[in-house]
Amino acid sequence: MSRRRTTAPFPALLWDLLAPRGGPAKPAREKKQSRPRTNTRPARKAGAMQQKYETVTREMLARYGVRVRKWRTSMSGVAWQVTYRDGTTARLIEAPKPKGPMSAAIFLHEIGHHAIGFGTYRPRCLEEYHAWKFSIETMEAEGLNVTDRVRARMRDSLRYAVAKARRRGLKRVPEELVPFL
C-alpha cells in the first residue's frame, strides 16, 4: 500500500500557518533595501602627531630591545624581564599603544624601567620615580605634549608608591621622593 502525497504547496511563512481558516493570509512584507552596517569607523588619515607617536614607539622598542606582550586598552602598564637558562634575556612590557599624551607617558614609563635597569635603584618607589622621570624627559625631548593630566598621573602614582613603601616598613624616604609624602 503506497501513500499518496498531495500536491498542495507548503506555506511560505509561519504567518501563513497561523492565518485563520477561510480568511486570507497576510501578504509577506518586502524588506527595505538598506546599506550594510559595520562596526568599524571610516579610516582616517593619520595626522602628524599620530605619526610622531608611532615613530617614538618604534624607536624606543628597538633602542631598548623591548617586546610588547600585549597592547592594553586601559591606562595601565607593567614591565618585566625573563632570563633564560642559556643567559638570554627577554624584555617585555604591557602598556597602552601611544595615541595621546597619557598613553604615551604610560608606555614610556614602562620603557623607562628597562632603560634605567631593574634593581638599579632601591627602594622600589625610587625606581618608579626614575621611570617617570625618564618618561617625562623623553616626551619633552621628542616634542610630545606633556599635559597637566600626565603630570597629575605621575604625582598620584608616586604618592601611591611612597605610601605603599611606608606601609611595608620603609623608614627613610629618599630625598627625591619627599615632595610625594
Q: What is the DSSP string of 118-143?
A: TTSSSSHHHHHHHHHHHHHHHHHHHT
Task: Quote the mean pLDDT of the chain.
Answer: 88
The whole-number pLDDT of residue 34 equals 66
Alpha helices by DSSP H, listed for the chain, are: 14-18, 48-64, 101-116, 124-142, 148-167
Decide which of 170 and 43 is more confident.
170
The whole-angstrom separation of Cα 170 and Cα 107 is: 28
pLDDT bucket at 28, cuts 50 / 70 / 90: low
Residue 53 neighbours by CB under 8 Å, 6+ apart: 98, 99, 100, 104, 144
pLDDT bucket at 39, cuts 50 / 70 / 90: low
Cis upstream peptide for 123 (omega within 30°): yes
Q: How far is CA 4 from CA 7, 8, 143, in A?
A: 9, 12, 85
What is the reported pTM? 0.75
Q: 3-class SS at 44?
A: coil
Q: 3-class SS at 3?
A: coil
Closest to 56 measured CA to CA, from 134, 131, 133, 144: 144
Decide which of 177 and 33 is more confident.
177
Closest to 79 measured CA to CA, from 132, 118, 47: 118
Closest to 52 measured CA to CA, from 108, 99, 89, 103: 99
Q: Per-domain residue ranges for the chain?
A: 48-180
Q: Are 105 and 154 in contact, with CB atoms under 8 Å apart?
A: yes
- Predicted confidence (pLDDT) per residue in 66-118, tens digit: 999 999 999 999 999 999 999 999 999 999 999 999 999 999 999 999 999 99
Length of the chain: 181
